[in-house]
Copies of this chain bind each other. A is one copy, B any other.
Amino acid sequence: MVKGADTAAIYSDLQDKLINGFFGAGEKLKPGALQGTYGCSANTIRDVLLRLSAVGLVSFELQRGFRTKPSSQAIRSDVTRFRIMLEQEGAARSMVHGGVAWEAQLTAAHHKLVHIETRIARESGAPGDDKALWSAAEYDFHRTLISACDSPILLESFESIYLQFRQQMFALERDFGGDYFRAIIAEHQAILDVALGRDETACRAAIHDHLKRNL
């Protein structure tokens, strides 16, 4: 992160750091300290942190400033449960509203994802340098799954919850192992199959099965 960066880069870097565990859970985020890191005014950091609080990655309390979100098994379960609900609903509506274009996009997103996951599973089970690639592809698959739901507010909520989900899962994902990736490869495939088959009940079950390890 280069000093003197513009605020878009600062936002992006802080978002990455918030998701990837650079700060501890519940840690105080002081604009006065971060201004040194980023080479800008503390008030600019405040702006960025307020925007990050809008997507749920930061807790803000008037007069007491900013903290990273707390983390616990209960919170992970809560976020997971909420994500399941959103994704099930979004997928169900997408199966109703989505046409061939949606199927094509979902198939393409899945293709990319399974390609990365297969490589990771074969090599060592630890994504290493592929973490960002895998993370982006995983998000893309799930976001595309619900993309035809015709509900802007659901999509917006999902995007924010997905970030929070990744943030909460960071520590748990450190030790993946090949078995983990082989399992989720199968789970992603199952989701794709039932979604393309437009079987709502099975799709809801597949999404739940995919995420239940985090409940």
> A: which residues have CB within 8 A of B?
7-8, 43, 46-47, 50-51, 53-54, 60, 62, 75, 78-79, 81-82, 85, 89, 151-154, 157, 161, 164
Contacts and interface: CB of A to CB of B under 8 A. Distances in A.
Nearest to A52: B54
User: How many monomers of this protein are in the complex?
Assistant: 2
A78 B152 contact: yes
A157 B85 CA distance: 13
Contacts of A81: 151
Contacts of A53: 54
A43 B81 CA distance: 38
Contacts of A51: 50, 60
Contacts of A89: 85
21 contacts: A43-B43, A46-B47, A47-B50, A50-B51, A51-B60, A53-B54, A54-B54, A54-B60, A78-B151, A78-B152, A78-B153, A78-B154, A79-B153, A82-B151, A82-B153, A82-B154, A82-B157, A85-B85, A85-B89, A153-B161, A157-B157
A151 to B, nearest CB: 5
Contacts of A151: 78, 81-82
Contact of A62 (B8, B46, B50, B153): B8
